[in-house]
Chain A
């Protein structure tokens, strides 16, 4: 099997056994990038020189022999970072013209942590501008394409990260998930995507979209790698005031095939959201597999599911309109020229710098927060959010995990939903509830539709129950045996 099809854990073991060097591995991925990047367009910036230098440095460390005991499981692994994660001295655009020439003065905490773990940054991946979108078509640079079918979208907003992993350009990548932006592209690209519990991973250095929901997480080729990345990412950070202080946990302990003690709920409302029949069939098949392995399965009800999406589309744009007010052309980022006064500088800079979806959401958020509408929209949405959280609390009193499809459809065509924002928003219908409630959720590939496009299954858990999610996901992954059958990368 080619190196670019292997998982991080396998590759890391090969390097430690000196079967391959760090540079060999990096070159295998660079070679892959050369082959297909002009078709997939997963990256905004590729940091080849820097990566090669670091790989050689790591090889020297390995040769000196003194390092072995302290190596992390991801040592020497080439990774991608969504381009809304700040990297010191490396251009970070957030997919926007506003930040087209922005070189951050510091690293995001997650970047610091992965660097300390010995990973090698291969490049910054494409995204919908400021992470607003479900197809990566809202990037100010170019759309990314789905490696399984180049006429289709990779999902979004972490579409570049998902496509890069699926196409074998990097071993794993980080994304951010505000309403499904890790899980939906993971499902569309046939990989694993995990959104951790709100507060468990520091967001210091993540360009903010909707702060009450944003969360950083891994996109990986298998469940094992997700556990390895979580081991690096999760932990208290005083620089993020929403960071939660908890004891350390080794998530590789959760990688066992055992669901006998698991009580599994199947939320009926999630199957009533115009889910493509092939997707619900495969989801039910996976549920039956877990049942056969001893999990106790029952139908459950989350009555306010229907209300999650309208709630989200009040709260997320409202928070975004506030967060994005910092882009004023004064301290960093783009500045418009030929202005008459300060207000003109603000509005011209913002109108030239933001793309149409970002403007649309700023407008929507400004409207729902403006005098006379705050109670009708924002406050109302925060109340309905309480009801959605209570739905989950009721169900999780009796169940360990919930299982649903990740998306109502498989990857759609480029342009298909671009003119109709509302249709695009509905792609997130099954993923936004987890963000509203702050609970962890994972999407894993469970098969393909009749046209050969990947289908994802979503597992939702209680706050800070990532280990349980990983155990159920790992069990299903091993049982389905898709990894051995699956042909990574471009199939057509």
Chain B
């Protein structure tokens, strides 16, 4: 729980470093007071919802972080929608915590297959032209992409 709060604050701080840094350098308040104020600001700005047993539901900032990881661009409206919808899905999913799984092994696969190998032998592969026919852009036998570094 405590780790989570600190983590959330860190995320907030990192997102707006210039103002938060100035704030932290001010010497009028003790560190604890600053902490409380930052917490309050985070709570208001991103509406972090603390639920029973200290479980933190997903917030907008986290949605933005996840969208970035997933290489998805979300509109403001989508971010709000996902915050709400994923929040309620996660709440439902959290019912799993009612189950004690202390000594349970996680499932790896459902049928008893052992490692599957094949001989390291050259085989007929798919037709190159049929593959490239679906490429958005090609140059000779290469897939062409835009410049990888910014303009």
Binding site for B on A (CB under 8 A): 88, 102-103, 105-106, 197-199, 212, 238, 241-242, 244, 304, 306-307, 310-311, 313-314, 321, 325, 328-335, 339-343, 345-348, 350-351, 354, 356, 359-360, 362-364, 366-368, 370, 372, 377, 379-387, 389, 421-422, 425, 436-438, 463
Q: Given A105-B127, A367-B62, A386-B105, A198–B96 Cβ distance below 8 Å?
A: no
CB atoms of B107 and A382 under 8 A apart: yes
Q: Given A342-B146, A351-B73, A367-B58, A313–B92 Cβ distance below 8 Å?
A: yes
Q: Which of B62, B69, B99, B111 contacts A387 (CB 8 A)?
A: B99
CB atoms of A330 and B99 under 8 A apart: no
Q: Given A244-B111, A332-B134, A380-B101, A350–B71 Cβ distance below 8 Å?
A: yes
Query: How near does chain B come to A65, taking the closest CB pair, in angstroms?
Result: 34
CB atoms of B67 and A381 under 8 A apart: no
Chain A residues near B62: list those with CB within 8 A. 367
Q: Which of B65, B86, B95, B148 contacts A360 (CB 8 A)?
A: B86
Q: How far is the CA of A306 from the CA of B63 in the complex (A)?
A: 28
Chain B residues near A330: list those with CB within 8 A. 136, 143, 145
Chain A residues near B58: list those with CB within 8 A. 367
Chain B residues near A306: list those with CB within 8 A. 95
Q: Given A103-B134, A382-B107, A385-B107, A359–B92 Cβ distance below 8 Å?
A: no
Q: How far is the CA of A68 from the CA of B89 in the complex (A)?
A: 56
Query: How near does chain A come to B134, taking the closest CB pair, in angstroms?
Result: 4
Q: Given A330-B145, A345-B146, A386-B105, A359–B72 Cβ distance below 8 Å?
A: yes
Q: Given A340-B150, A363-B82, A421-B85, A385–B69 Cβ distance below 8 Å?
A: no
In this complex, the interface size class of chain B, counting residues with CB under 8 Å from chain A, is 35 or more
Chain B residues near A370: list those with CB within 8 A. 65-66, 69
Binding site for A on B (CB under 8 A): 7, 58, 62-63, 65-67, 69-74, 78, 82, 85-86, 88-90, 92-97, 99, 101, 104-111, 113, 116, 118, 126-127, 130-131, 133-137, 143, 145-151
From A367, which residue of chain B is reached at the shortest CB distance? B66
From B104, which residue of chain A is reached at the shortest CB distance? A383
From A310, which residue of chain B is reached at the shortest CB distance? B93
Q: Which of B73, B107, B111 contacts A197 (CB 8 A)?
A: B111
Q: Given A199-B111, A341-B149, A329–B85 Cβ distance below 8 Å?
A: no
CB atoms of A437 and B71 under 8 A apart: no
CB atoms of A363 and B67 under 8 A apart: yes
CB atoms of A310 and B92 under 8 A apart: yes
Pairs of residues from A and B, 10 with the lowest C-beta to C-beta distance, nearest first: A438-B110, A382-B106, A105-B130, A335-B136, A332-B134, A383-B101, A366-B70, A351-B73, A346-B71, A385-B107
Return 14 A-B CB contacts under 8 Å, by A number.
A88-B130, A106-B130, A330-B145, A332-B134, A333-B134, A334-B136, A341-B149, A347-B73, A359-B72, A367-B62, A383-B101, A386-B107, A436-B110, A438-B111
